[in-house]
Amino acid sequence: MPNVQTFKASAYLQDGVQVRARARDFEILIDEPASLGGTDTGMNPVEALLASLGACQSIVARVYAPKFGIQLEHFSVEVEGEIDLDGFFNRSEVRPGYSEIRYTFRIGTPSSEDQVSEFIRFLESKCPVGDTLANPVRLVLAQVNIERSSVV
C-alpha cells in the first residue's frame, strides 16, 4: 500500500497584490516588488518557489548526509532563474514561468569528492520540490466557488 500524505496550503488575497499564504499553523506574506505593482513586503511567488527548492534540497541533505557518511559542517543553496515578464504581462507568446532554474550547493565537509558526488546525485533524486519542477505534474482546478455578496 502506498504511503501517501496530502499537504495543503491556502492563499488569501489582501490589499493590492499582497497574499497571506497559510499551511498548517504557519503563515507567510507574499508580495511583489514595487517595480511589479507591489509594496515589497515579502517574497514574490516565484522567489518563494526558488526558496522552496533550496530549502527542500537543504532538508534532504541534512536527512541523508549520515546515511552517506557525509559530515556537514555547513550546507547552503543559491538558486536563481530568469522569467520573461512579457509572458506574464501577455505581451508575447513566451511562457510566463521560468525557462531555467540554476542552483549552486555550498558544502563544508571533510568528506572526499567521490563521497560528495554520490551524495549529491542521490540528493537531487530525492528532493520533492526539485522532482515536481523537473517533471510534468498534473495541475487540476478542482472547483470554483462563487460567493455572491448581498451588496448591489
For residues 87-111, give the mean pLDDT. Answer: 94
10 Å CB burial of residue 118 (0-12, 13-18, 19+) is: middle
Separation between Cα atoms, residue 44 and residue 16, nearest integer Å: 13
Q: Model-level pTM greater than 0.85? A: yes
| Inter-residue contact 103 to 75 (CB < 8 Å) | no
Q: Which three cell numbers stand for residue 85?
A: 515578464
For residues 77-85, give the mean pLDDT. Answer: 95
The H or E element that residue 5 is part of is none
Separation between Cα atoms, residue 137 and residue 129, nearest integer Å: 11
pLDDT at 152: 63
Task: Provide CATH code, domain 44-134.
Answer: 3.30.300.20
Listed by start position, the domains of the chain span 7-42, 44-134
102-149 pLDDT, tens digit each: 999 999 999 999 999 999 999 999 999 999 999 989 999 999 999 988
